[in-house]
């Protein structure tokens, strides 16, 4: 067993070396290393813009956001890129994802070959890559679903079952993913901070990854993808979903991603609920759209702003330029879990809310413009420091 473990570890190291070699051997010399426009030095807004533009394949916008974010906090820019790689590209282009994970944590190597140059090169590679959010959707499903939370609570009482369940080809995929999450180490966010529920067991984690027999790049990304908000644990199961699909995965294109509305110096979807401007826009929108506000209440929303934020993600912020479509049921369960987490349990209510929000997107974008104008005014007046 020790020999086998050593062989597996060596194969991962060799793969890492090959990924790094391939990246640096033909790095273009004409990469854009300065932003084409001056952007606010707001790390949350820049991080959101980086992610939304990579999803849409907008290389120039993504490069601008990445370089400005890098100038504020280089290590945060690299950490954010690790998360984006698994969350939005996943096994759609697993070699690029694995390359990001191989390079991001190696400061000395990045300095040797040009830190900004490598960052821009990988941002552009993620932009042009086919996207796949199945791993992220699966993780959202198991982290936010009330039904899954009840199963997890039961499973916590029998840690001796976790490894076998994660390997069990006959068990539902979501149950296997929950077991994998507990083995890898599970932490929850509370009002007081973060609470460690289980501590990771690297030996068991490695055995499970080996037993699932994923593509070597998937295995590498799973094992090297720590500190990516647990997204790495779902990658092998995304491959299993893909392998089990009863048809060849289709590459679908969402054309509306290529010409998004722009507000100020960002595409409108960058103003999500995790940014100061986006949160203000959602509040402005709800204060004026009384009918939509009332429908959220009627549907049972326990946190109207966050429920609105997830609805907005489902119809706009999560759009991808090109993506593989092979596990639509996982996306459906993720959307259910996202809304159920904030009190909206009925599919019919979710459909009505999404339809109403689509009709009111001009009003939402108007709220974003007002929020952006106020934001810029506060920066100019020195009220807001970034």
Kind plus residue range of the DSSP H or E element containing 211: helix 202-212
Q: How confident is the model at residue 336, as a pLDDT? A: 98
- Asked if residue 1 has pLDDT above 50, the reply is no
Residue 157, both tokens: 């009482």
Q: Strand pairing of 250-253 and 193-198?
A: unpaired
- Please list the helix, strand and coil fractions of the chain in percent, rounded to the nearest 5, in that order: 70, 5, 25
d(CA 283, CA 294): 14
Residue 265, both tokens: 């110096």
- Asked if residue 275 has pLDDT above 60, the reply is yes
Kind plus residue range of the DSSP H or E element containing 294: helix 290-299
* DSSP designation for 257: G
Helices 173-184, 146-155: crossing angle, 10 deg rounding: 60
> Which of 65-79, 113-127, 256-270, 359-373 is predicted least confidently?
256-270
d(CA 52, CA 267): 8
Question: pLDDT tens digits for 335-379?
Answer: 999 999 999 999 999 999 999 999 999 999 999 999 999 999 998
Q: How confident is the model at residue 31, as a pLDDT? A: 83
Q: How confident is the model at residue 32, as a pLDDT? A: 80
Residue in 314, 318, 298, 294 with CA at minimum distance from that of residue 358: 314
- Asked if residue 23 has pLDDT above 70, the reply is yes
Q: How confident is the model at residue 3, as a pLDDT? A: 44
d(CA 192, CA 190): 5
Q: How confident is the model at residue 194, as a pLDDT? A: 85
- Asked if residue 250 has pLDDT above 60, the reply is yes
Q: What is the mean pLDDT of residues 165-181?
A: 98
For residue 318, what pLDDT band results from cuts at 50, 70 and 90?
Answer: very high
Q: What is the mean pLDDT of residues 206-223?
A: 96
- Asked if residue 249 has pLDDT above 80, the reply is no
Q: What is the mean pLDDT of residues 291-307?
A: 98
Catalogue the long-range contacts made by 377-382 (C-beta closer than 8 Å, 24 or more residues apart): 379/40
Q: Residues of the chain with pLDDT > 70: what percent?
A: 97
Q: Is 146 exposed, middle or buried (0-12, 13-18, 19+ CB in 10 A)?
A: exposed
d(CA 279, CA 63): 24
d(CA 224, CA 240): 19
Q: What is the mean pLDDT of residues 19-35?
A: 86
Whether the CB-CB separation of 87 and 234 falls below 8 Å is answered with: no
**CB-based contacts of 47, cutoff 8 Å, min separation 6:** 65, 69, 76, 80
- Asked if residue 247 has pLDDT above 80, the reply is no
Q: How confident is the model at residue 193, as a pLDDT? A: 81
Q: How confident is the model at residue 86, as a pLDDT? A: 98
d(CA 162, CA 168): 10
Q: How confident is the model at residue 120, as a pLDDT? A: 96
Helices 216-224, 202-212: crossing angle, 10 deg rounding: 160
Question: pLDDT tens digits for 70-95?
Answer: 999 999 999 999 999 999 999 999 99
Residue in 319, 350, 206 with CA at minimum distance from that of residue 256: 319
Question: Bridge partners of 131?
Answer: 323
Q: Quickly tell me which residue has 């020999």 as its tokens.
A: 3
Q: How confident is the model at residue 4, as a pLDDT? A: 59
- Asked if residue 129 has pLDDT above 60, the reply is yes
Cα end-to-end distance, the chain, whole Å: 53
Q: Which residues of 357-379 are buried (b: 16+ CB within 10 A; e: fewer)?
A: beebeeebbbbbbbbbebbeeee
Residue in 325, 316, 328, 322 with CA at minimum distance from that of residue 129: 322
For residue 170, what pLDDT band results from cuts at 50, 70 and 90?
Answer: very high
For the chain, give the mean pLDDT. Answer: 93
For residue 248, what pLDDT band results from cuts at 50, 70 and 90?
Answer: low
- Asked if residue 246 has pLDDT above 90, the reply is no
Q: What is the mean pLDDT of residues 283-298?
A: 98
Distance of CA 217 to the CA centre of its chain: 19
Q: How confident is the model at residue 57, as a pLDDT? A: 95
Q: Radius of gyration of the chain from Cα atoms?
A: 21
- Asked if residue 2 has pLDDT above 70, the reply is no
Q: How confident is the model at residue 25, as a pLDDT? A: 86
Residue 375, both tokens: 């934001």
d(CA 260, CA 263): 10
- Asked if residue 328 has pLDDT above 70, the reply is yes
């Amino acid at each position: 067993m020790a020999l086998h473990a050593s062989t597996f570890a060596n194969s991962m190291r060799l793969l890492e070396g090959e990924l790094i070699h391939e990246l640096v051997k033909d790095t273009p010399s004409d990469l854009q290393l300065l932003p084409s426009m001056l952007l606010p030095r707001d790390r949350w807004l820049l991080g959101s813009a980086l992610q939304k533009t990579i999803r849409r394949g907008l290389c120039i916008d993504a490069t601008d956001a990445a370089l400005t974010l890098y100038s504020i906090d280089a290590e945060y820019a690299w950490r954010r890129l690790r998360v984006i790689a698994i969350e939005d590209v996943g096994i759609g282009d697993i070699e690029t994802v694995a390359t990001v994970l191989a390079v991001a944590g190696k400061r000395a190597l990045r300095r040797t070959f040009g830190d900004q140059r490598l960052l821009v090169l990988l941002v552009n590679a993620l932009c042009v890559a086919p996207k796949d959010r199945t791993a992220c959707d699966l993780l959202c499903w198991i982290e936010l679903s009330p039904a899954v939370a009840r199963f997890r609570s039961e499973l916590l009482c029998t840690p001796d079952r976790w490894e076998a369940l994660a390997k069990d080809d006959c068990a539902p995929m979501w149950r296997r993913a929950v077991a994998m999450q507990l083995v890898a180490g599970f932490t929850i966010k509370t009002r007081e901070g973060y609470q460690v529920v289980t501590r990771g067991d690297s030996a068991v984690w490695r055995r499970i990854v080996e037993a699932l027999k994923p593509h070597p790049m998937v295995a590498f990304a799973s094992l090297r993808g720590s500190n990516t908000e647990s997204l790495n644990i779902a990658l092998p199961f995304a491959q299993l979903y893909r392998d089990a699909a009863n048809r060849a995965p289709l590459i679908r294109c969402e054309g509306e991603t290529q010409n998004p509305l722009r507000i100020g110096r960002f595409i409108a979807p960058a103003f999500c609920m995790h940014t100061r401007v986006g949160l203000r826009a959602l509040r402005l929108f709800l204060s004026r759209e009384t009918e939509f506000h009332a429908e959220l209440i009627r549907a049972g929303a326990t946190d109207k702003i966050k429920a609105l934020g997830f609805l907005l993600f489902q119809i706009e912020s999560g759009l991808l330029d090109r993506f593989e479509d092979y596990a639509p049921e996982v996306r459906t369960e993720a959307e259910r879990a996202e809304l159920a987490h904030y009190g909206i349990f009925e599919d019919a209510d979710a459909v009505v809310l999404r339809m109403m929000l689509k009709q009111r997107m001009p009003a939402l974008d108007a709220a974003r413009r007002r929020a952006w104008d106020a934001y810029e005014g506060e920066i100019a007046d020195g009220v807001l420091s970034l």
